[in-house]
Amino acid sequence: MNLKKELTDIARKAQEASHQGLTISTDTKNKVIREMARALAANRNLILEANKKDVVKARKSGLTLSLIDRLTLDEKRIKQMHDSLLEIAALSDPVGEVIKAWRRPNGLWIHKMRVPIGVIAIIYESRPNVTSDCVGLCFKSGNCVILRGGSEAFNSNLSIYNIIRRVIEKSGICESMVNMIKTTDRRAIDELLKMKDYIDLVMPRGGEALIKKVVNSSRIAVIKHYKGICHVYVDEWADLNMAANICFNAKVQRPGTCNAMESLLVQGDIAVRFLPGMIKKFKEAGVEIRGCPLTRKIVKGINIKMATERDCRTEYLDLILSVKVVEDLDEAISHINNYGSHHSDSIVTENYDSALKFLRGVDSACVYVNASTRFTDGNQFGMGAEIGISTDKLHARGPMALEELTTYKYMIFGNGQIRT
């Protein structure tokens, strides 16, 4: 079949199905999502078998270890996919929620109510769990979804999708509520991004190159973040033991994620006490350090590469860290706002005024006090899962889940009013 015709047919049917999404009851949605979770668990061997094919291919293709980590599924990660769907089913349904209501002097009774966005296209790379998370969130919020995963995870994504699709079919709900583009042909993305008559929103999840391609090509509204250049700033009032634990977790726990720390900032007065032990701990974990001149002067006997301005703007997604000693909190805030990506940044401090100034001054989607940036995640925020993280300011920012997958409409009740 002609690729354009095939994609248009999928998008058109999704738009038609989206009208049903407006009226599916919460009980029905929750029942179907719980059945999706059970089906994934029951068919985990099929998923693991499909994933193994993708991992073998990825290794032969020379993909980086961080990308292979994102791609790889095991019993634990499938259990997390299962649990995530159950958490989504347990969350409150935002559809139909009245955000605000007020009565006008003329007697009109106005209600502002949450409704589904409509048809959402998700274009993503590497992580197969995105398939089930996005289906669960879109279905619970009454949206139709069109999935287009990366070629590196093709077998895994298709296996998960087929299992979920069978659940939808058995439920009696229109099967076009959930769709997948079953081709690795890159032209499919270009065609999909032209279909503004059928698709209401596009969300890219993946590397900066993919996101820029989607933004530059799309005729449809896009919500995205380009990269995660996340900082931890160790303030002069910091508990240094706490700071060491937070910094190590933010960099090492899973370095290939967008919420991992890429730059460490340390206030000058405590740098001599903090940096030698901290950098030694990083080096023992295999982290390559790229430091400013003062960092290299303070830390003796450890190989530290000279950091460049480019390092300050780089999302490594690897065991590489840039380190800079700053004069004070003002310089830290200025550095983050200048070099960061407005994703997630943290301050370690016991000083309330410093914490408050950092929270107010750093222009990022998620700003932390005394906690790792690794918590920027819909599941960790209690949202069940996330469909993505936005560093935009309209209409959503930070982890996006059910509420962010709705828009609103006004319902107005009258008793014969006319405008004069």
Domains in the chain and their CATH numbers? 3-224+392-413 (3.40.605.10), 230-375 (3.40.309.10)
- Give the pTM: 0.89
User: What are the tokens at 87?
Assistant: 């958490």
Strand, coil or helix: 395: coil
Those residues whose C-beta lies under 8 Å from the C-beta of residue 126, and which sit 6 or more positions away, are: 67, 70, 71, 150, 152, 153, 206
Q: What gap in Å lies between CA 222 and CA 211, rounded to an integer?
A: 9
- Positions of the chain with pLDDT under 70: 1
Number of neighbouring beta carbons within 10 Å of residue 392? 13
Handedness of CA 391, 396, 399, 401 (dihedral sign): negative
Q: What is the reported pLDDT for 383?
A: 87
Q: What was the pLDDT predicted at 1?
A: 61
* pLDDT at position 207: 83
Q: How much is the pLDDT for 19?
A: 94
